[in-house]
Amino acid sequence: MNGLKKEYGQRITFLQINVLNPDNVPIMEQYGFGSTPEIYLVDEEDQVLGYWDEIESATDLRQRFDEVLGEGGD
Q: Omega of the bond prior to 26 within 30 degrees of 0, cis?
A: no
What is the predicted pLDDT for the residue at 23? 92
Domain locations in the chain as residue ranges:
2-68
**CA–CA separation, 66 vs 32, rounded Å?**
25
Flag whether pLDDT at 40 surpasses 80: yes
Amino acid code (one letter) for 49: L
In sequence order, what are the residues at sequence separation of 6 or more whose Cβ sits closer than 8 angstroms to the Cβ of residue 10?
Answer: none
What is the predicted pLDDT for the residue at 34? 67
Q: Would strands 48-52 and 39-42 be described as parallel, antiparallel, or unpaired?
A: antiparallel
**CA–CA separation, 17 vs 64, rounded Å?**
21
Q: What is the pLDDT of residues 56-72, one digit of tens each?
A: 788 888 888 898 888 76
